[in-house]
Structure 1
Amino acid sequence: MPLFSSGPSVDSVISRLGSTKDSTAHYIAVSEYVESKKRRGKGVAEVNTKLDDLERALAKVSERLAADTAGTFAKIRDDKGLPRSKLFPSAAAPAPEVAPPPAYPAYAAPPPPVPAAPVRVGSVSRAAAPPSPPTTYAAAPAPAAPSYAAVAPPARAGSPAALILNGEEQLAMLRDYDTVFLVDDSGSMAGSLWREARAAIQGVVAHAIKYDEDGIDIYFLNDRSAAKGVKSVGEVEALFNRVRPSGATPTGARLDKLLKEYKRELDAAYEAGKRSGGDMYTVKPLNLLVITDGAPTDDPESAIVSFAKYLDKYDFPLSQCGIQMFQIGSDPEATEALQDLDDALENRYNIRDIVDTVPYAGAMTAEMIVKVLLGGINRRLDRRNA
């Protein structure tokens, strides 16, 4: 499709949309292109960039199109079942200059047309465009079924909109946690899996940084590069550009080190609380996400069990720590090993369940983001299949 493959400027798009016929063809092509990209979950950044250019171009084109083209677009939209768009709004029929019929005294005059939000694709589901304003006095439409949708952009620049379900912000509980990523940079991650890991982490980080005021932390299994207080996706990109996958998969050793560092913080707060007679549970809970493609070459089970027993011994809140094992790729042995950490440890050792596992399906949907970020700290999501 020339419109997207060549990356035209605004002016060049305008020159190609000088007639109603050309504008109509591009409108149909853009709608179908966006839907196909959304289904495949690929080319998200490219599509959004091109849509920005197209939106500006079409805004200029619409100023010089004749008024009678509005009826043409409305007919095309209705015939093809295309969504409303502010790029080509259909002209609303003028309200009759007569009083409402006596038989319908309860209905007010129809509101003016409201432009729909521009189409966007990405990890957050697209908000539904508002319905066409009524041209006659009719009952209000029934409310739509609840679904994930984008809401107003958050205060932090560059961060995606919040995920909303049934009027609730799904990731709000992350504000109470420190979010830490532990990334597998073993040799088996080189190539396409490393690119998949980078894309998956960027999709998750874009949401996580919105809720962690002091930023997230990122560590690797082998490379000693680390980033603390990350507050932008660009920092993640720069970090991945510096690290080259190599070596084994010492998941257990790195987990043990991170959990022991966190345990020292808990010990200090617990002892201080005992001495003062105050709150002994003041350390911010930990949400630890492990991104890996394969079965570990050491023993993460022992590190997890030891830390869970410690939490139980001192009666820390059940929400004090959660570990999410996020699998990149589809190695069946890795899947089995990670699933065992999720399902078997609680009964095998009579400990609290602090582990969840989720496989990466190749695209970060809204539901996947919620599962990845909350599965380790929310038992209801832990029990839900990915």
Structure 2
Amino acid sequence: MASVSWQSIAHYQALSPRSFELSYPPMPRSIDRDNARKLQLLPYYNTVFLIDDSLSMMFTRNNDEKANWAIVEIWLGVMAEIAARYNPNGIEIRFFHSREIGRGIKDRNGVRNLFSKVFWFTTGTPTKTSISVVLDEYFSGYRLTPQGLEMPKALNLIVITDGAPSSPSEDPTGVILNCIQWLDQYGVPVNDREVGITFAQVGRDPRATLFRSRQDIIHHMPSMRRNQRKIVYTLKSKLNSVVLSNNDYNRKVIKLLLGVIDKT
């Protein structure tokens, strides 16, 4: 078994304190009418953020640049407060490695409290394993009854990572295909967006590659060409800046929060 390198967040905070300073942008003065309409769909979904807490999330190029970990914390704080305006249940936050789970997060303080409980970071990016845990839990809520299919609230899963899976075995293509096949087997209508998975990248590493698009899934399994389910969405905008204009909120933050709920 390969050795695993662990390090505490306090170690990196001590080396580069400015990289972990949290400075939240002001909340948007207004949300445009079209996005406000889309955000009204949030109560119909359980919005779950799955966060990469691997060791690489601590690294910065220089002491003046935010660590990816701090950038994600700021973005989540902003999105939690926007989501809470439309969904009384807020958002849920999980991690690749840590077993900490934050449910009903509605503001930046809730995010900060949860992040403070994640002490240790390890190498490796177990993308497939982490997504499998969330999807297995979701599909365990499906029940076939004499009255028909009982389903949990629809899932809006948003995966934020700084790069590609750590090994080919952690490529999530297979688990996403399994998800599509489960939906088919349960007879869920193709146009029903019961499961949405959004991939977003944090950081500026030019070598990092986001998970593939639907076209890449089809390339991996040609038999899926006839399947019209659209459950995967890759956010092209990287989460680098934490200085957000009102236009950024309407174009970037809300777009990420909605994921595949609305892909217009």
Determine if the TM-score, normalized by the shorter chain, exceeds 0.5.
Answer: yes
* SS across alignment from 2:116: helix
Q: After the TM superposition, which of the residue ranges 282-291 and 326-335 deviates more from structure 2? A: 326-335
Deviation at 1:43, TM superposition (A): 5.5
Cα offsets for 1:173-195 (capped at 9, x unmatched): 11111111111000100141111
Residue 170 of structure 1 and its aligned partner are, at CA, apart by 3.4
Q: 1:238 to 1:345 in 2, by over 3 A?
A: same
RCO comparison, higher one (Cα < 8 Å, 6+): 2
Of Structure 1 and Structure 2, which has the larger fraction of its residues in strand?
2
Shift of 1:374: 1.7
**1:320 and 2:194 aligned:** yes
124, 141, 148: which one aligns with 1:265: 141
> Are the aligned partners of 1:323 and 1:376 in contact in 2 as well (CA < 8 Å)?
yes
Q: 1:207, 1:343 → 2: CA distance?
A: 32
Whether the 8 Å contact between 2:79 and 2:257 is mirrored in structure 1 is yes
1:247 correspondence with 2:123: yes
| Counterpart residue identity of residue 241, structure 2 | G
- CA deviations on 1:216-242 (whole Å, 9 max, x unpaired) are 221110111111222332111011122
* Matching residue of 1:186: 54
Distance in structure 1 (CA, Å) of the matches to 2:109 and 2:173? 34
Aligned-pair CA distance for 1:210: 2.9
Which runs of 5 or more residues in structure 1 are unaligned? 1-41, 46-121, 127-149, 151-162, 381-386
How do 1:99-248 residues align onto structure 2 when only pairs under 5 Å count? 122-124=26-28, 126=29, 150=30, 163-165=31-33, 168-191=36-59, 192-244=67-119, 245-248=121-124
Rounded to whole Å, the distance in 1 between the matches of 2:201 and 2:176 is 17
Q: Which runs of 4+ in 1 moved over 6 A?
A: none
Question: How far does the alpha carbon of each residue in 1:251-272 deviate from its partner, in whole angstroms, 9 at most, with x for none?
Answer: 1001011101111102x2xx12
The counterpart of 1:360, out of the listed 223, 239, 243, is 239
Which residue is equivalent to 1:293? 162
- Supply the distance in 1 between the matched residues of 2:194 and 2:97 (Cα, whole angstroms): 27
Letter in 2 for 1:356: Y
Aligned-pair CA distance for 1:283:
2.3
**Could you give the per-residue CA deviations for residues 274-303 of structure 1, whole angstroms, max 9, x where no partner exists?**
x1x35x254211101111101012121111
Query: TM-score, with normalisation over the residues of structure 1?
Result: 0.52
Q: Which amino acid is the alignment partner of residue 360 of structure 1?
A: L
Q: How far is 1:322 from its partner? A: 0.4
Partner of 1:179, secondary structure, is strand
Separation in 1, partners of 2:70, 2:24: 15
Partner deviation per Cα, 1:326-354 (whole Å, 9 max, x = no partner) = 2101333433x42x245422564334221
Partners of 2:89 and 2:78 in 1: CA distance = 19
Which structure is larger by alpha-carbon Rg, 1 or 2?
A: 1
* More off after superposition, 361-370 vs 341-350: 341-350
- Aligned positions, number: 218
Amino acid at match of 1:193: N
**SS of equivalent to 2:94:** strand
CA distance in 1, matches of 2:125, 2:117: 19
Matches of 1:281 and 1:327, distance apart in 2: 34
Q: Residues 301 and 199 from structure 1, CA distance in 2 versus in 1: closer, same or farther, beyond 3 angstroms? A: same
Residue by residue, what CA displacement relative to the aligned partner does 1:107-127 show, whole Å, maximum 9, x if unpaired?
Answer: xxxxxxxxxxxxxxx352x4x
Change (3 A) 1:285 1:199: same
Contact 1:202 1:233 in 2 (8 A): yes
Percent same amino acid at aligned positions?
A: 32
Distance 1:375 1:355 in 2: 9
Counterpart for residue 119 of structure 1: none
Distance 1:166 1:214, change over 3 A: closer
Structure 2: segments with no counterpart, 5+ residues: 1-21, 60-66
